[in-house]
Amino acid sequence: ETGVTQSPTHLIKTRGQQVTLRCSSQSGHNTVSWYQQALGQGPQFIFQYYREEENGRGNFPPRFSGLQFPNYSSELNVNALELDDSALYLCASSSGLAGETDTQYFGPGTRLTVL
Amino acid sequence: AQSVTQLDSHVSVSEGTPVLLRCNYSSSYSPSLFWYVQHPNKGLQLLLKYTSAATLVKGINGFEAEFKKSETSFHLTKPSAHMSDAAEYFCVVSDQWDTGGFKTIFGAGTRLFVKA
């Protein structure tokens, strides 16, 4: 059983650019959530995907968007990057099993730096 | 609206002494509660989860947490700290959306230091 993987590990972009981050969920998991963790803070919920549909969203602007694919892997896209978007982006997956739907397993994250 | 408050931003203990990391929560429903640990340059690891089966929850690495509804608390404890326990700890509450999905709120974190 493979865990949650994310790519790339690190990324450097400049203001105004666009970025795509990728996540492969744990085997058997159909729900993926994305989080932004700024330095010294707890992760902030961005949005969640369940069976290719957005299933909930936090307080992030529309320039943060996502996709989930039939194999349940996922992408996070951020347009018009701002300096404050510099953070660790975490992906988490969870299964659809009753009683376990909100138990999340996290990937190692992608460190995004916006210059 | 749900929220999580971790009462200490930093906790320092000596190796072999007890650990107490405090967490209070607010939720409109019957939430699930979690503790996660984050070691430097590593991903978040699940320590334990409370559902409703038992108020005392045992987790990995000797950690446990007690759910106290009257106090809206979910404090994390360990009888004897080990150097490898030094990390950032997050208390987490999870509530369901009306759509059937769930929203997860993280506390700000507590940094645990363990002195030799």
Contacts of B107 in chain A (CB under 8 A): 42
CA distance B74 to B57: 10
Number of helices and strands in chain A (H, E)? 0, 11
Mean pLDDT of chain A: 91
Ramachandran region of residue A96, left (φ > 0), alpha (ψ -120 to 50) or beta? alpha
Contact B40/A at CB under 8 A: no
Distances (CA, A) of B88 to B10, B23, B38, B40, B78: 9, 14, 5, 8, 15
Q: How confident is the model at residue A107 (pLDDT cuts 50, 70, 90)?
A: very high
In chain A, % of residues over pLDDT 90 = 70
Q: How confident is the model at residue B6 (pLDDT cuts 50, 70, 90)?
A: very high
Amino acid letter, residue B13 = V
Task: Find the residue in B nearest to A30 (Cα).
Answer: B101
- Tell which B residues from 45 to 74 touch A, by Cβ distance under 8 Å: 45-46, 49, 51
Do B103 and A56 count as a contact with CB atoms less than 8 A apart? yes
Mean pLDDT computed over B23-49: 88
Q: Is the pLDDT of residue A101 over 80?
A: no
End-to-end, the C-alpha distance of chain B in Å comes to 41
Do A55 and B101 count as a contact with CB atoms less than 8 A apart? yes
Distances (CA, A) of B29 to A1, A51, A74, B32: 33, 25, 29, 9
Mode of pairing for the β-strands spanning A19-24 and A64-68: unpaired
Range in A60-64, A90-94, B26-30, B91-95 the model is least confident about? B26-30
DSSP H stretches of helix in chain B: none
Closest CA to B44 of A104, A115, A10: A104
Q: Is the pLDDT of residue B98 over 70?
A: no
Q: A35 to chain B nearest CA, in Å?
A: 10
In chain A, % of residues over pLDDT 70 = 93
Q: Count contacts between A and B (CB, < 8 Å).
A: 59
pLDDT by residue (tens digit) across A36-65?
Answer: 999 989 999 999 998 888 888 889 999 999
Closest CA to B44 of B53, B54, B34, B52: B34
Do B101 and A99 count as a contact with CB atoms less than 8 A apart? no
Question: pLDDT at position A67, please?
Answer: 95
Within 8 A by CB and 6+ apart from A69, the residues are A52, A75
Q: Is the pLDDT of residue A100 over 80?
A: no
Q: How confident is the model at residue B43 (pLDDT cuts 50, 70, 90)?
A: confident
Backbone angles phi, psi at B61, to 5 degrees: 60, 25
Mean pLDDT computed over B23-40: 87
Cis upstream peptide for A43 (omega within 30°)? no
CA distance A108 to B16: 30
Contacts of B34 in chain A (CB under 8 A): 103
